[in-house]
Structure 1
Amino acid sequence: MEETKTTNSNLISLPHNFLAEQGILSILLTNPSLIKNCLSNLSINSFYHDSNKLIYETICELSETNSLINLTTIITKLQDRGILKKIGGIDKIVKLINRFENFLDLDEYIKIVNENYLRRLIIDLGKQIIIWSYATPFNLEEIISKIEDSIFNIKQQKVSKKFYSAAEIVDDIFNEIKDKNNKTTNLGYLTSFQDLDSIVQGFQKSDLIIIAGRPSMGKTAFSLNLAKNIIEKYKIPLIIFSLEMSRQQIIYRFISTESKINNNRLKSRKMISSEWSSLTKAMKTISELPIFIDDNPNLTLIDIRTKIKKIFLEKNQNGIIIIDYLQLMKLNFKLENRVQEISYLTRNLKIIAKEFNIPIILLSQLSRNVESRVNKRPMLSDLRESGCIVPLQKRPSVNFASWNLVNIIPTNMVNNPFDFKGIKPTYLITFQNGVKIQLTANHKILSKNGWIKTYQITSGTEIYSLVKETNIHFQSKYKYNKVSSIEYQGIYSVYDKTIPIFHNYIFNNIILHNSIEQDADIVIMIYREDYYQEKQLNSQITEFIVAKHRNGPVGTAKLVFTPSTTTFSNL
């Protein structure tokens, strides 16, 4: 007889399919080789009926320990767990094994069970929304934020169930290459800036592109220029989230660029008759472009996702996003420090870019530390909230090397000096073997669980430590070293080093990272010599340093900047 469940409030059972659940169990018990693939597509919670859930949980446990799965082992395991009687006894297992099911139907059964599970989650969310709505401690923004996050999590569960074989992916790539060769489609959006496009090959869909520079270096002007080029060329919508400039100021920029009329003259209305004609044409052109501007200074991730959905749904077409700029964005909740907030924001913006399959251009300030150097060309470590180290002796390092997970390549310390990065808050990490290292809050360090930042370290965290320098395999040169304590030390002068290829180095036998913006696919840094050298005020050459390019080369592109109309053009 089919088992039933009831809700607390009524006798109507939640969405489920008893036969599909039984079909899955029958196929797995009679075809154990299918279990491994099933584990990644079907969670234990997907089962609605308790007995089926317990049987599947037991199958998973046996599979994870590589145990033999048959009638004897499954019954023994159920007995050991004390749940054999609860699931219906030996007869239940025998009936499942004797039940005839075509193993080719497994994927369809899994789909049915997962869809019912997601429906139950939606029903639970509906109940939770009612509770949140009545709860006075929550304001409306917090409730909407919770609802958005919950819906996104449900959606992610559905997306994560889909796996692709190598054959499927190869087919997709072949079609993309063939289409590109035939020039029928574009894999990325070209900026029309030839030097830049030769390096980045256009902005790819799902890319997070960070454009960084000091204030007044031209970040906003450049992003508006390239975005206008893209939407004119590809006829796609542009959404600008501006936390600093008003929507009127942005449109003034567009009109000035299009009409070639000085922005200040536009605002003061001091124009000659011929310029009025150019202004009219420019305003008509800009008004016809699919540009949408949100100048809400309290922008949140929820606002971004909601407005992207609304505009792209109305236009029935995805486009491109500009956010100006990262350091002004806010969260609806508090994290321990601003470093964690920035990390959370960039990670979620990358998720949004991937979710909607769009490029997101994110503007970011560079640290003031660049001003303290003789060579003021920016580096990755100049990004705001980048990590640095404090030397515990006079020399920044006595054991310095770049590495690539296979061989350590010793590097002479004299030829690779550390760069001063300013004065920042620091933390002292002490290991159980007595080794100490002092880092800023977000400098990355190699742990047993991969790269983590200083603020993520706790007592007991296991960190990779160099045993000795040899040329044998990486695994035998390092061991785990546990952290005994981490303490705030105050503000110190800090240093860092850029390793262009491996982005890693060894300091006090600990493997540190180069503080790269981990979520960005492309990082472009803007440098103008005339910004620092008064003698070269007439030099309009601007360097665009592609400091990080996840899928291609790095390099420097040069463009001509026209300050009067804030326009960039090919050299």
Structure 2
Amino acid sequence: YVRGIRPTLVEIFKEGHTLGFLTKTKDIESIKYIAEHYISDQNIKYWIQKVKQANKAREAQNLLRKYNATLNDGKLNIQQFITEASSDFFALAMDAGSEKIDTPQEVADLGIKLVTERVERYRKMAEECRIQGQVPMEGVITGLPTLDRMTLGMKPGDLVILGAQTGHGKTAFAMNVAKAACVDTKNNILYINTEMSKEQIARRWGAILSDVALYQIQSGSLTNEQKETVVQAYNRLRKSGFYPCSIPNLTPQKLDVMARKAKIQRNIKLLILDYVGRMEKVQKGMDEWQVLEQIVKSIKLLAQNLGIACLVLVQLTPTGELQGAKRMENECDLMLKMIPVEKDEHRKKIEQKLKKHFEEFNYRIFVQKARDAESGVSIPLVFEKPKQQIREAQEEGTGYEDIGTVVDM
């Protein structure tokens, strides 16, 4: 029925014989009786669902027996046991089917179905965005208009890596992306921080959403009006899809379990990991770049298996480099660097390359790799550190736009 074949009695007999389910005359008579007395075109979907549920129950019983037997092993690695069990039960809960070889007809039908759905969805989004003056997105937005237009958002299965030096806005960038993703738009996200406590995260939200300096929120030196503004900001956060978790001793296994749990319970669209350098080593004796490579590979698989986007923060060296960067580039779909712009001549070079003039900016996002967009692009940013706010620099006129034009007197 799912393949478009009407499940007549003859088709059921053919399928049953092919699969080896019908071997006796009694089996055929039983099927014939069931078909005549219980199944019709009107309730076929109901019975298909019943069969699926019964099959899922049998698979669950098999998993329980399998892991119950494993528990008796005296050399059991309990962390690995939990990870494997959670992965198997998650696959069962999400109806993940076993691997199969598709036919060319199935691939062609799927392609037609996908392009038809994509065109209809795009036209609908385009109409909605035209009314609102926006660009239609396919994934979760970052809040940086130029980057979002280039990539159409962070899509399911995407791995995005953001690198920055110590003290140069990794967490601020992550939280501003979170604001765009789950406060400004209504997506559920999982934010995992390996460095800060939940109190520190909460205070930063207060600054980002209220336009009040972080140091004032930390010290409590607020006027009554500022306090009310901060409270209203937290009420905005209350209605968002922000689900944070602070785990100083994060391991790839813990990350896997937390992400799967959040996908099932909250249907998250984005996972933000802040930051990967604090995760515990997969194996002792590995160099840091090897650790990062293995972790990034596992996160890419996680993004694909769960159908979510993953934003991972990494730390750059003082020279702006990243150990193992080439290997990470191979795994990720989008690699970004957040780089300070401290001198006027650097700003002028960026403006000359972009052939645009901007308000004064102090950082830039450099698109080092983009699988589905142009790479080698710089996007000027304004990073207001006291308020922990990051936004794209606004383009300004040069003052010479009217030169050469005829002006009526």
Q: Which residue, 280, 283, 288 being the options, matches 2:231?
A: 280
Q: 1:303 is aligned with what amino acid?
A: K
Residue equivalent to 1:59:
none
AA of the residue aligned to 1:175: E
2:367 corresponds to 1:546: yes
Amino acid at match of 2:116: F
Report the AA paired with residue 214 of structure 1. Answer: Q
How many angstroms does 1:24 deviate by? 5.3
TM-fit CA distance, 1:136: 3.8
Instruction: Report how far residue 249 of structure 1 moved.
Output: 0.9
Please list the CA deviations of residues 215-247 of structure 1 after superposition, one character each: whole Å capped at 9, or x if unmatched.
111111011102211213431112111111112
Deviation by residue 1:22-72 (Cα, 9 ceiling, x = unmatched): 6259xxxxxxxxxxxxxxxxxxxxx9xxxxxxxxxxxxxxxxxxxxxxxxx
Q: Does 1:318 align with 2:256?
A: no
Measure the CA separation in 1 of the matches of 2:381 and 2:88.
Answer: 45
Q: Which residue of 2 aligns with 1:297?
A: 248
1:182 alignment partner, SS class = helix
Q: Which residue of 2 aligns with 1:341?
A: 291
Aligned to 2:160: 209
- Partner residue, 2:378: 556
Gaps of 5+ in 2: 1-13, 22-52, 129-135, 346-358, 394-409
TM-score, with structure 1 as normaliser? 0.50
Counterpart check, 1:193 vs 2:144: yes
Q: Secondary structure at the match of 1:364?
A: strand
The one of the two structures with greater contact order (alpha-carbon pairs below 8 A, sep at least 6) is 2
Q: Distance in 2 between matches of 1:22 and 1:298?
A: 54
Structure 2 CA distance for partners of 1:196 and 1:302, relative to 1, 3 Å: same
Query: Using a 3 Å threshold, how does the CA distance of structure 1 residues 273 and 122 change in structure 2: closer, same or farther?
Result: closer
By how many angstroms is 1:361 displaced? 0.7
Tell me the TM-score normalised to structure 2 length.
0.69
Partner of 2:222: helix, strand, or coil? coil
Number of the residue aligned with 1:229: 180
Give distance in 2, aligned partners of 1:171 and 1:277: 51
State the Cα distance separating 1:531 from its structure 2 match. 9.7
* CA distance in structure 2 between the partners assigned to 1:561 and 1:520 by the alignment: 25
Given the superposition, is the C-alpha separation of residues 276 and 122 from structure 1 closer, same or farther in structure 2, using an over 3 Å criterion? closer
| Aligned counterpart, 1:498 | none
Are the equivalent residues in 1 in contact too, given 2:363–2:382 (CA < 8 A)?
yes
Taking the aligned partners of 1:189 and 1:146, their CA distance within structure 2 comes to 29
Which is strand-richer, 1 or 2? 1
Query: Partner residue of 2:81?
Result: 143
CA drift at 1:201: 2.6
Report the residue type matching 2:259 in the other structure. Answer: I
Task: Output the CA distance in 2 between the equivalents of 1:201 and 1:314.
Answer: 27
SS at match of 2:330: coil
> Identity of aligned pairs, percent?
19
Segments of 5+ residues of structure 1 without an aligned counterpart are 1-18, 26-46, 48-114, 371-377, 387-513
Deviation at 1:139, TM superposition (A): 5.4
Structure 1 distance, partners of 2:207, 2:369, is: 32
Quick check: 1:177 aligned with 2:177?
Answer: no
Deviation at 1:175, TM superposition (A): 2.1
Distance 1:21 1:330 in 2: 51
Q: 3-state DSSP class of the match of 1:203?
A: coil
- Give the Cα–Cα distance (whole angstroms) in 2 for the partners of residues 545 and 247 of structure 1: 30
Q: CA deviation at 1:525?
A: 0.5
Change (3 A) 1:221 1:156: same
Matches of residues 352-371 of structure 1 in structure 2 within 5 Å?
A: 352-368=302-318, 370=319
Residue of structure 1 in register with 2:39 after alignment: none
Shift of 1:544: 0.2
CA offset at residue 156 of structure 1? Answer: 10
Q: For residues 264-294 of structure 1, give each alpha carbon's deviation from its aligned partner in whole angstroms, at most 9, with x where no partner exists.
A: 1111111122211212211222222221111
* Contact 1:544–1:558 (CA under 8 A) maintained in structure 2: yes
Counterpart code for 2:336: I
Question: Does structure 2 retain, via aligned residues, the 8 Å contact 1:530–1:539?
Answer: no
Report what 1:23 is aligned to: 18
* Corresponding residue for residue 521 of structure 1: 333
Q: Return the match for 1:219 from 166, 170, 175.
A: 170
Residues of 1 paired with 2:342 and 2:88: CA distance?
A: 49
The aligned amino acid for 2:301 is: I
- Summarize the Cα distance change of 1:556–1:174 in structure 2 as closer, same or farther, 3 Å threshold: farther
Q: Which protein is richer in helix relative to its size? A: 2
Describe the shift of the 1:197–1:180 C-alpha distance in structure 2 as closer, same or farther (beyond 3 A): same
Task: Answer with 1 or 2: which has the greater Rg.
Answer: 1
Are 1:161 and 2:111 counterparts? no
Which amino acid in the other structure matches residue 231 of structure 1?
C
Once residues 332 and 193 of structure 1 are traced to their aligned partners in structure 2, the CA distance between those partners, rounded to angstroms, is: 34
Q: Secondary structure at the match of 1:354?
A: helix
- Alpha-carbon spacing, 1:159–1:246, altered in 2? closer, same or farther (3 Å): farther
**Superposition pairs of residues 59-208 of structure 1, within 5 angstroms:** 125-138=63-76, 140-148=78-86, 158-161=97-100, 163=102, 164-183=106-125, 186-208=137-159
Provide the aligned C-alpha RMSD in A.
Answer: 3.6
Q: Does the Cα contact within 8 Å between 1:145 and 1:332 map onto a contact in 2?
A: no
SS in 1 for 2:160: strand
* Alignment CA distance shift 1:270-1:194 (3 Å): same
Question: Which residue of 2 is the match for residue 453 of structure 1?
Answer: none
How much does 1:549 deviate? 0.5
SS at match of 1:144: helix
Give the Å deviation of 1:344: 2.5
Contact 2:176 2:390 in 1 (8 A): yes
What is the aligned partner in structure 2 of residue 238 from structure 1?
Answer: 189
Q: Which amino acid aligns with 1:318?
A: I
Question: C-alpha separation between the residues in 1 aligned to 2:162 and 2:246?
Answer: 19
> Which SS does the other structure have where 2:97 is aligned?
helix
Work out the CA distance in 2 between the residues paired with 1:152 and 1:342: 26
Deviations 1:135-169 (Å, cap 9, x if unpaired)? Answer: 34335434313423555788898353274513322
Tell me, yes or no, if the aligned pair for 1:318 and 1:356 is still in contact at 8 Å. no
User: Aligned partners of 1:193, 1:306: CA distance in 2, in Å?
Assistant: 30
CA distance in 2, matches of 1:340, 1:150: 27
The separation in 1 between residues aligned to 2:305 and 2:77, in whole angstroms, is 28
The CA deviation string for residues 85-141 of structure 1, in whole angstroms up to 9 with x for no partner, is: xxxxxxxxxxxxxxxxxxxxxxxxxxxxxx999998866644442343233433543
